[in-house]
Amino acid sequence: MGEGLALDKRAGRIEDAWEKFIIKGIIEPYVVRETIAASWERSLANKINPYRKMVFFDLVEVNDNYHRELIKLTRPFMENLYELVKGSDFMVLLADEKGLITKVYGDPVIKQRTKNSNLTSGADWSEENIGTNCIGLVLKEEKPVQVFAAEHYMRELHFLAGSAAPIYNTDSTLLGVLVMVGIFHDFHPHTLGMVVAAVNAIQNQLHYINIARQLKKSYNKVTAIMESISEGIISLDADGKINMVNSLCSEMLGVKVSDMQGNNISTLLGEKSLLLLTLKEGKEFSDQEIIVNNGDVTQRFSSTTRALRDEKNNISGMVITLRKGAAVHQLVNKVIGAQASFTFDDIIGNDPIFFQSINRAKKASSGDATILLQGESGTGKEMFAQAIHNASPRRKGPFIVINCAGIPRELVESELFGYEDGAFTGARRGGRPGKFELANGGTIFLDEVGDMPLEIQVNLLRVLQEKKVTRLGGQSVILVDTRVIAATHRDLASLVEKGTFRLDLYYRLNTITLYLPSLNERSQDVLLLTKIFVDRISSKLGKETPVISKRIEELLVQYKWPGNVRELHNVLEQALNMFDCSGTLLPEHLPDKLQKKAVKFKGTNSWALEKQEAKYIEATLKQTNWNISLCASLLGIGRNTLYRKIQKYKIGK
């Protein structure tokens, strides 16, 4: 009873102060709080009629789509708050950031008593619309407020008391206002605390929702990154449990993502996997081979691992990348450094026999048959092999070279076919793929195949027949799709007769045979090659291309060239390094051995060289449609040099 009288007395004093302000515009500072007084003055300035009936204010249609998220978020908190005051003539309301009421909870009694007060969904309770009230004042002050009795600017609202608090998003933007309204006789200061507590709970929920959204955003970002990587990706926790896998990894392993996530990586790799050991030890590795057993299928991948660490530097997980096919080819180039750089455009010669070999090689490049290149050392067998590869459908695959004569006898098998972990003393941990595996999808060039040990030849024959390899010390069969180009300077037929080369392997390699003539057999190309080599080497050394003396031409043509084209190039490179830019390349610039073994030249004249050079330049100009820069690049000379030669030889379009 005492509290009610006190509230009535307080309400009476405020009512007198309100009337004094409305009639005379005077504020009673000891009765009217500063925030209320400021709001009254703004309401007066906005020319709001304090005597207007609330029922005459228009309702605004609530946009369900716009307010859905806010209503959904606050509903459980509003319902809990309403349960606390249910039956005590209080209402719980939600207004948006503009003061529009969007949701109302209240007893039928209080709703009936306030039916003319516009406390309903769609009502605009902004200060600009109805003057001082708890909703409008929160929007102005941006903090919790209470408005009691005649502190309301509208006369019709003087029987109410309201407590309200702003709801802020995690980025500090105002979302709305939570309100508790009742008859001022039942008003209690603690109602504001209840509203603030509910708002705090709402804002905590917003914080958690924002964290969840950020986590989902981060997860989606990580997923997008993982899906954009052209490698299989697996993310593990500290116990080896798979928590993320990209779809490419699923395709590579032939296992659904859902069947991998949540399972331990040991189900794929086995308990003794190198990867599991490194996870336990906290170690990382790069480009190591791992074996994945999926039923009857055994797959091998090149793998790299990176450890994830927590704030105490403890292992919290690991990221694994898996590569196979085209991705492993990048590893091939890194480990072996073998690439096919030459094309048929790089092979020079006008000799009919040599030209015939080029044409046959071009035809053979379109197929997949095994090719045997026969010719002396230095005739360009590897250049031909590279050109065939680059003109073949396998051009985007790896080109692997192995010199059968240059590898110790006991290592040939492991180099060709690879080895498993522990296959022999000194074997690399985790094993290593052989050249046939690394050449998968491309070409393997077996140079000096005639020097291959007899005991290894049977394994090579099996690979050629079955397209399968078994690593040294292993049992798993690995399918390989590799084209074989073999080369030798030896007579394989005679080796077969001697019993040092298998007849069945000889026939398997001899599907297509290309003979590369020696430089002595194509002597007419000596001067052509000389001119081209001199131009290219001079350009490389930054020297002006010299005039080649007649005597040098004679010496080069008469020499027997046991090292063939390779030796010719080396001789000219040495001569040009000795050349002092005097204008003419002389015999004194040549190596001593060439001069000592030279015999009198009988036939070739310098005009023959110039005639061949003019013919070659003219052909290249036509090929490039007279593109001077491109033609000069193909010839290995400068643009100015090319212009001088065009004028010298009177070459025209």
7 and 52 share one domain:
yes
Are residues 417 and 504 both part of a single domain? yes
Neighbouring-strand partners of residue 373: 487, 514
One DSSP character per residue, 286-311 reads: SSEEEEEEETTEEEEEEEEEEEEE-T
Residue 595 CB partners (closer than 8 Å, separation 6+): 555, 587
Q: Tell me how far apart the alpha carbons of residues 616 and 530 are, in angstroms, rounded to a whole number.
A: 13
**Same-domain status, 410 and 498:** yes
Phi, psi of 572 (to 5 degrees): -70, -35
The reply to whether 354 falls in a domain is no
Claim to verify: residue 111 and residue 255 sit in the same structural domain: no
Tokens of 81: 């708050």
Name the 3-class secondary structure at 166: strand
335 located within any domain: no
Q: Say if residues 277 and 248 touch (Cβ distance below 8 Å).
A: no
By the 8 A CB rule, do 445 and 385 touch?
yes
Dihedral angle sign, alpha carbons of residues 374, 376, 377, 382: negative
Contacts of 448 (CB under 8 A, 6+ apart): 403, 404, 405, 406, 487, 488, 489, 490
Which among 402, 487, 494, 501 has a CA at the least distance from the CA of 448? Answer: 487
The answer on 17 and 160 residing in a single domain is: yes
The token pair that represents 324 in the structure block: 């196979």
- pLDDT, averaged per 10 consecutive residues of the chain (653 residues), comes to 67 93 93 95 95 77 74 92 88 94 89 86 93 96 95 94 94 94 84 93 91 88 86 86 88 85 80 64 73 67 82 84 62 58 88 88 93 92 94 91 85 83 65 84 92 89 89 81 93 91 92 90 86 88 84 83 89 86 79 64 51 76 82 72 85 79
* pLDDT given at position 68: 83
The domain tally of the chain equals 4
CATH classification at residue 302: 3.30.450.20
Helix 628-635, helix 639-648: angle, nearest 10? 90
Are residues 193 and 306 located together in one domain of the fold?
Answer: no
Which residue segment(s) compose the domain that 179 sits in? 2-209
Claim to verify: residue 82 and residue 203 sit in the same structural domain: yes
Residue 614 falls within a domain, yes or no? yes
Q: Does residue 481 sit in the same domain as residue 603?
A: no
Residue 165: inside a domain, yes or no?
A: yes
Tokens, residue 467: 């397209």
Q: Is residue 44 domain-resident? A: yes
Residue 437 lies in a domain: yes
Which CATH number belongs to the domain containing residue 161 in this structure? Answer: 3.30.450.40
H runs (alpha helix) in 86-189? 108-113, 127-130, 134-141
Q: Are 476 and 447 in a shared domain?
A: yes
C-alpha torsion sign, points 70, 75, 77, 79: positive
Q: Which residues, 6+ apart, have CB-to-CB distance to 184 below 8 Å?
A: 7, 11, 148, 149, 159, 160, 161
Contact assessment for residue 211 and residue 205, using Cβ atoms and an 8 Å cutoff: no
Q: Which of 489, 515, 541 is the last residue of a domain?
A: 515
CATH code for the domain in which residue 579 is found: 1.10.8.60
Residue 560 DSSP one-character state = -
Residues 163 and 282 in one domain: no
Q: How many residues would you count in the chain?
A: 653
Cβ neighbours of 106 (radius 10 Å): 22
Block residue for tokens 């209690």: 188
The Cα-based distances of 12 to 33, 34, 132, 184, 328 in angstroms read 15, 18, 18, 12, 89
